[in-house]
Amino acid sequence: MTKEDVVTQILGERKGAPRSSGAAFAPANIALCKYWGKRDETLNLPMTSSLSVSLGDRGTETVLSVRSEKDEVVVNGDRCSPDEPFYRRAVDFLDLFRPATDLYFRLETRNTIPTAAGLASSASGFAALALALNELFQWGLDRKELSILARLGSGSAARSVYRGFVEWHAGTAEDGRDSYAEPLPYTWPELRMGLLAISREAKAIGSRPGMQRTKETSPLYSAWPALVEDDMQTIKRAIAERDFDLLGRTAESNALAMHSTMLAAKPPLCYWLPETVRIMRTLWRCREEGQPLYFTMDAGPNVKLLYPAKEQRMVQDLFPEVEPVTLF
């Protein structure tokens, strides 16, 4: 099964003549129960389900229009050169939807996550792109279909078509028709995430090769699917009951378990920098002193804090450079 087959399946007869432009916003998301490992490399089908929270109004704004010569990709006001990885990924994705070879796109995208926060923007980027395509061509696709299309750009983008808490169902079908995200029917206005940027450099090993290496060579990876199944249940319960300690404890240990599978890969994968470890130790010490403060991390050195809104002052005193995010 190819990505083109999935697109044909979803669009059916709906090719659509483009309007002059289509605009969309998609929030970034941070997983509380991580996605790490694919069962299908082409369609970005995950080994396990995952659960995230979207970052409110922090994400990607995209305007897509058609033009008659050469694709153009503009990020935060700067035109990308065709040899930049982002240009290639964006154009490869747009190729899936190009109705004629002489129709070109202008993609203008702006990230509302401060770049200083060092957050990857592929999830919100591909979700915004799928939503903007739907606007441009007036397909009238529903969120489930848009989640599937966004997944073809980047796995975690499947979750960025929604705000709030989002579950991405792993699914079992070979064509991925049951591998899409859905929002959870809960909000939690007092929950905050704090972004701590440690490095803005592009990571040495991207998530795609990183997951592949972990799945193929880490002796700990076989324990990961069952652990995720348990953590998914626990995190859902914590959200339903607004049990902050249970949520923080489980999200933190899920992230550490993911990093443990990576450390045991051959050759090992370690995304942490000395500053990452220093922050983890500070947080553990704070917790011993009774502070309600937890963290999660993705495939990079940056740390994302989880805390109740009323602790904002304490968090800012500890980490003056923190970028607080209101989630709901």
Residues of the shown chain interacting with ligand PMV in the complex, contacts defined by CB under 6 A: 31, 34-36, 50, 122-123, 154-156, 207-208, 298-299
H or E element at residue 224: helix 224-240
Within 10 angstroms of residue 317's Cβ, the number of other Cβ atoms is 9
Identity of the residue, 65 or 254, whose beta carbon is nearer to ligand PMV in the bound complex: 254
Q: How far is the CB of 104 from ligand PMV (least distance, A)?
A: 27
Q: How far is the CB of 233 from ligand PMV (least distance, A)?
A: 17
Nearest 5°: the CA angle 268, 270, 275 is: 155
Identity of the residue, 89 or 106, whose beta carbon is nearer to ligand PMV in the bound complex: 89
Identity of the residue, 49 or 65, whose beta carbon is nearer to ligand PMV in the bound complex: 49
Identity of the residue, 127 or 133, whose beta carbon is nearer to ligand PMV in the bound complex: 127
Q: How far is the CB of 139 from ligand PMV (least distance, A)?
A: 23
Identity of the residue, 123 or 136, whose beta carbon is nearer to ligand PMV in the bound complex: 123
The string over 92-101, giving b where at least 16 C-beta atoms fall within 10 Å of a residue's C-beta and e elsewhere, is ebbebbeeee
Q: How far is the CB of 34 from ligand PMV (least distance, A)?
A: 4
Q: How far is the CB of 44 from ligand PMV (least distance, A)?
A: 7
Report the alpha-carbon distance of residue 167 to residue 184 in Å, rounded. 7
Which of 5, 24, 153, 160 has the alpha carbon at shortest distance from 89? 153
Identity of the residue, 80 or 123, whose beta carbon is nearer to ligand PMV in the bound complex: 123
Residues 6+ apart with CB under 8 A from 267: 213
The string over 20-51, giving b where at least 16 C-beta atoms fall within 10 Å of a residue's C-beta and e elsewhere, is eebebbbbbbbbbbbbbbbbeeebbbbbbbbb
Q: How far is the CB of 95 from ligand PMV (least distance, A)?
A: 19
Q: 155 near 282, Cβ under 8 Å? A: no
